[in-house]
Amino acid sequence: MILWEIREEDTFDLEIEIENITVLKGSNNIWFRLVRLVDDFFNNKGSIVTIMEDTQIIHKSDWECLFVPFDAHIQLDKLSTKSPLKSLWEEAAEELYNHTIFNELNDIWDVLREEVELISKRKVEKYGLKLTVDDFSYNHLKKFIGFSSIKNYTTPFDFKLMLIKLFANKSVNKRKLVIVEYPELYTDQNEFQEFTSFVQSLAEKGLQFIIVSNENLPFYGSKNYFLQNVVINQAKIEMVKRKVMNDLPFVVDHHDFAHVQKQFFELVDKLSNSVTHQPLSTGDDVTLTIFYVLSHHLGLNLNIDKSQVSNDLYKFFQSFPK
């Protein structure tokens, strides 16, 4: 279990479980802010954000971080100094500059310069002026090189995939983190499957991902939920598991607990996306009791329907916690 504590002075402090692929499930302002704080930590030299990994401060100099927001876009026709395409553009220009054809072009340019001098003598010098032609330099060459899309229309999905590919192919001796916000937006089913397969392949090569999504992503990794101002994840449950099992009025083995735990995550996911919460009733006293005790130790206040439970369990609910 790896935990990151993301903190911004006294205004924000949250802990999430991290793996190669980390999912922040659901749509809420907390995830919106958290991913921007992580981006700020890694990419802003003057950031006041701190990130602790298991009580140790993360050294941002060991990392490269890319943030791909839900509305990601790349300007193709005009490259700024911060454009993700700038290094690719310079690589292409340098390769052309070192090609033999560029030397041939310079030879032709010299012939053109001689012709300009002749024209200058015939038509311009009588006015006390002369024509000049600049050298055809590397900087001139770059002005003639630009990008355009192969497709007639570049979608937001295309831009997101392009950004991740450019970042993944950067040659840097650092750990790489990619933050992706709602990759399911503006995508069809085939595109989304392409995205998940691509992310999985990069994660297997060592890249780390934090993905904010409303979808049930098919990744083996850590999932974090946010309910009642509490982050819920596997690590948090492992921390309280022994206390929960000791507090239960019956014995439950680890296999059965794992099964109920899966149901609990599904419940938390459902509740985190609901505006109104109906009283919870599973029809299974054992599951309902584990939900009740587990939610208490996690700091949640679930609305449990106790009307259908056995008398003994009802008494337990009334007396717990002591």
| Token pair listed for 217 | 């992503």
- The Cα-based distances of 129 to 19, 144, 189, 244 in angstroms read 70, 29, 66, 92
Q: What is the pLDDT of residue 148?
A: 87
Q: How is residue 279 annotated by DSSP?
A: P
Q: What is the pLDDT of residue 51?
A: 97
Domain assignments of the chain as residue spans, ordered by start: 2-77+156-223, 92-143, 231-319
Q: What is the pLDDT of residue 62?
A: 95
Residue with tokens 């109906």: 278
Distance CA 66, CA 164 (A): 8
Q: What is the pLDDT of residue 168?
A: 94
Residue 76, exposed/middle/buried by CB under 10 A (0-12, 13-18, 19+)?
middle
3-state helix, strand, coil in the chain (%, to 5): 45, 15, 35
CATH class of 2-77+156-223: alpha beta
Q: What is the pLDDT of residue 138?
A: 87
Mean pLDDT per segment of 10 residues, for the chain of length 322 residues?
Answer: 92 95 93 97 95 92 94 84 87 91 90 93 92 87 87 87 93 92 92 94 95 89 94 96 93 92 92 71 82 93 82 86 72
